[in-house]
Amino acid sequence: MHVSPTAQTQIVRSTESLQTLNCNLSPIIHSEWHSFLEENQSRIHSLLEQYGSPLHLVAPQVLAANLAKIEAAIQSHGVKAQVYYAMKANKGRGLVSTAAASGFGIDVASEYEFKLACELSPLHTPLSLSGPVKPTSLFQAAIERNVNISIDSVEELRALRDHVMSHRSQNPARIYLRYRPSFKAKTRFGMSTEDVMACTRILTEFRLLIEFIGFHMHLSGYSAIERGRSVAELVGLSEVLDTHGLKTQFINIGGGMPVQYVAPDAFETFMELHQGSAVEYKGGQPSWFYPYGGRLTLEAWMREFMDYFLAPGLKIADWLRRCDITLAVEPGRSALDQVAISLFSVGLVKDRGSFSTVFLNGSSFSASETWFQSDYLCDPILLRFGPRGRAPIKTTPAYYLAGHSCLEDDIIAYRPFSGDVAIASGDALAFINTGGYHMDLLENNFHHHPTPARLNIDFSNLTFTQECAK
């Protein structure tokens, strides 16, 4: 059963009464997280004591609402939608089962994701399988479950052909061809027009064993226009394949829909300062950033894509409707917007005169983008649990946030935070909106620190369920 987007709390607001560790990049925060942080501080303190730092809190029901919002954004253009949650963006099992139980599909990109998705979802849940290489055992399992398989290369289609010829199944393999647009020539993923034509010959010959269902793509970056340009290149190809009896039923544009972590104005001001070298990064200035405060909301992004002109008077939405093509999407990051927060307790604040280092209990593997030579551009919220009143606590010109490990590069954020609030060991920082890639992509148990606990939270009755890491 699908979740209605209107039935969910959609209000987001800035941190208001909560104090951030300020760098003028105040996080946009869902009202339910806001109330939770404002009204449950002693409970949060106890949870951190019980489960250790860092601690991830995850709200799967927000994921279901986001997926419904994405589906509605497509359908509002009169286009048929198939939404697959890209489970690679977060390791949470509860997220996969919630997406499936709410009627959405799951995008899997490995044998292990496939097995987990099968374990956690009802049999009828639509699955989409991507990735540049799949073992034959995965081909076979995917064919038996009627999964839509994205074929990345002519070589991979030949491997599938050889497999289906030697392992006759009841169902044909359902495949889309992953397309590489002409303006993304350097990517190793997907196929050129010539490759697609080579595949057409195989698909025509083996149509009883391999069913062509359409095209797949996933572009790096977050541009709706680039995705529009790619679809424009596919129109002619789709017509050619049609003449061979290979009908495009799906165009799957992958992920890349935007998330607004901070307000666009604040983000643009920050970027101007960044270009002017006014921000003194520890260890060099990052050369790129995720657009933390992009101007486009998800709906506006979808409108920009759907309104892209394929030909005079013909927008993408018109073409999809006219040809009865379903638009499939595989949102990861955007599906996880406002789904999780990560809490870190402060171990120690070390004063170096011109700045202080706040050592957090846990490592940046659980929190940040610094391992991608980028930076986490969202101010954390300060939760005061420390020994206030015991000793006077100084403010400092600036704070840098570091993890507790022995690595110089274990930095939670390379940028400094203003030092005009006092922080003490025992306080905690809440990082907002960490669900999409920020919290567990690189998480490990370095120094034998246990893998951080994750608790699924139900906002309706404020109960928590611990999820076992597998």
Ligand X SMILES: Cc1ncc(COP(=O)(O)O)c(C=O)c1O
Residues in contact with ligand X by CB under 6 A are 86, 89, 107, 130, 218, 254-257, 330-334
d(CA 127, CA 140) in angstroms, rounded, equals 14
Instruction: Report which residue's Cβ sits closest to ligand X.
Output: 255
Least separation in angstroms between residue 147's CB and ligand X is 14
Least separation in angstroms between residue 107's CB and ligand X is 5
* Residue 32 phi, psi dihedral angles, 5° rounding: -70, -40
d(CA 172, CA 40) in angstroms, rounded, equals 54
Least separation in angstroms between residue 368's CB and ligand X is 17
Least separation in angstroms between residue 407's CB and ligand X is 26
Q: Which is nearer to ligand X, 113 or 318 (CB)?
A: 113
Q: Which is nearer to ligand X, 30 or 88 (CB)?
A: 88
Least separation in angstroms between residue 272's CB and ligand X is 26
Block residue for tokens 């030579």: 373
Residue 140 carries which side chain, given as an amino acid letter?
Q
- Say if CB 335 and CB 66 are below 8 A apart: yes
Q: Which is nearer to ligand X, 54 or 256 (CB)?
A: 256
| Residue 202, CB-side half-sphere exposure with 13 Å CA sphere | 24
Residue 354 carries which side chain, given as an amino acid letter?
S
Q: Which is nearer to ligand X, 69 or 333 (CB)?
A: 333
Q: Which is nearer to ligand X, 227 or 454 (CB)?
A: 227
Nearest CA to 177 out of 207, 152, 143 is that of: 152
Q: Which is nearer to ligand X, 254 or 452 (CB)?
A: 254
Q: Which is nearer to ligand X, 36 or 222 (CB)?
A: 222
Contacts with 119 (C-beta within 8 Å, 6 or more apart), sequence order: none
Q: Which is nearer to ligand X, 332 or 362 (CB)?
A: 332
Least separation in angstroms between residue 255's CB and ligand X is 2
Map residue 376 onto helix, strand or coil: coil
Cα dihedral value 263, 266, 272, 276, nearest 10: -130
Least separation in angstroms between residue 86's CB and ligand X is 4
Least separation in angstroms between residue 355's CB and ligand X is 34
Instruction: Give me the DSSP letters along 227-291.
Output: HHHHHHHHHHHHHHHHHTT----EEE--S-----SB-HHHHHHHHHHHHTT-S--TTS--S----
d(CA 179, CA 217) in angstroms, rounded, equals 5
Residue 325 carries which side chain, given as an amino acid letter?
I
| Structure tokens, 422 | 């006092």
d(CA 142, CA 72) in angstroms, rounded, equals 28
